[in-house]
């Protein structure tokens, strides 16, 4: 299951402009879901909740095509004098139940599952880590040919509604070619530094993350880690720290 949401300052738009934007955006990205054996469970404002019942690869391919579609849409927006948008996508693989909720005069079909909640939380974290697509460990492990994708380990996080830490990865095939190459080039160092960080070797981790930033100054995730390393070296880690960040983004 997947959650998709565009990053747009809606308060700058009138109600009619908001409706026009949402319909224009959804009419472009929704076909990418259906093209990869997915179906849309619901629209949540300008967000989309989609299910890919056949395979994790369908979800990833749908996410990549949506990002490509948004890139083309941004060309149209810029020519029309509008600002470009970005979207964040969270992907998780798990079991769920699809059913009907409500009462006699108002009913609707919906999905109820802890897995759906996690996908939504991952979408909410994309902005924090500067990732266009975030996938859970379960999704990565369920890919038939994971080697063909460009990805890197991102973090271990405890999100709202989950008791155990979740390993999450960034998928960056959709990034601009130069940025994609820089992330590939620094992947080994980034993941080594993340490993040291979770072992509380913060000084060593910070040094390596700083080297990642020298190669790729746009790496928002590396910037985030540097700040954390500096904070923990100065103030120490909380007593209940479980080598995972407790994050409350929705």
CA dist 163 → 126, 215, 247, 248 (Å): 20, 36, 12, 13
47: left (phi over 0), alpha (psi -120 to 50) or beta: beta
What percentage of residues in the chain have a pLDDT greater than 70?
Answer: 86
Task: Please check the confidence at residue 65 and state whether its pLDDT lies above 70.
Answer: yes
pLDDT tens per residue across span 10-52: 556 677 878 888 888 899 999 999 999 998 888 887 788 899 9
Q: Is the pLDDT of residue 59 over 90?
A: yes
**3-state SS string for 164-179:** CCEEEEEECCCCCHHH
- Helix ranges, the chain (H): 15-34, 56-79, 114-129, 137-141, 177-198, 202-215, 220-235
pLDDT tens per residue across span 192-207? 999 999 999 999 999 9
Q: What is the per-residue pLDDT across 93-136, written as a single tens digit (0 to 9) for each? A: 987 666 677 777 776 666 666 667 888 889 989 999 999 999 99
Q: Render pLDDT for 85-96 as a digit per residue (tens, 0 to 9).
A: 889 999 999 876
Mean pLDDT of 186-195: 98
First-residue to last-residue Cα distance in the chain: 16
DSSP state, 1? -
To the nearest 10 degrees (0 to 180), the angle between helices 114-129 and 220-235 is: 90
Residue 153: is its pLDDT beyond 60? yes
pLDDT-derived band at 214, boundaries 50, 70, 90: very high
In this structure, CATH architecture of domain 2-174? 2-Layer Sandwich (3.30)
Does 100 or 156 have the greater pLDDT score?
156
Please give the average per-residue pLDDT across 131-154, as a whole number. Answer: 94
Residue 177, pLDDT above cutoff 50: yes
């Amino acid at each position: 299951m997947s959650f998709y949401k565009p990053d747009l300052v809606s308060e700058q738009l009138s109600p009619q402009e908001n409706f026009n934007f949402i319909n224009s955006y959804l009419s472009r990205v929704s076909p990418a879901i259906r093209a990869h054996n997915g179906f849309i469970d619901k629209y949540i404002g300008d967000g989309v909740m989609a299910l890919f019942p056949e395979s994790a690869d369908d979800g990833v391919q749908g996410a990549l095509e949506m990002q490509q579609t948004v890139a083309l849409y941004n060309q149209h927006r810029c020519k029309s004098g509008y600002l470009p948008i970005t979207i964040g996508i969270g992907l998780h693989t798990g079991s769920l139940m699809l059913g009907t909720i409500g009462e006699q005069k108002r009913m609707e079909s919906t999905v109820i599952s802890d897995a759906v909640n996690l996908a939504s939380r991952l979408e909410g974290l994309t902005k924090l880590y500067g990732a266009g697509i975030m996938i859970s460990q379960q999704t990565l492990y369920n890919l038939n040919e994971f080697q063909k994708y460009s990805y890197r380990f991102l973090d271990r996080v405890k999100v709202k509604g989950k008791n155990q830490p979740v390993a999450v990865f960034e998928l960056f095939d959709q990034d601009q070619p130069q940025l994609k190459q820089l992330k590939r080039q620094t992947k080994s160092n980034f993941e080594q530094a993340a490993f040291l960080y979770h072992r509380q070797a913060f000084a060593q981790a910070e040094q390596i993350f700083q080297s990642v930033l020298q190669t790729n100054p746009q790496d928002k995730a590396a910037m985030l880690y540097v700040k954390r390393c500096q904070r923990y070296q100065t103030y120490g880690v909380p007593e209940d720290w479980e080598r995972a960040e407790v994050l409350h983004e929705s």
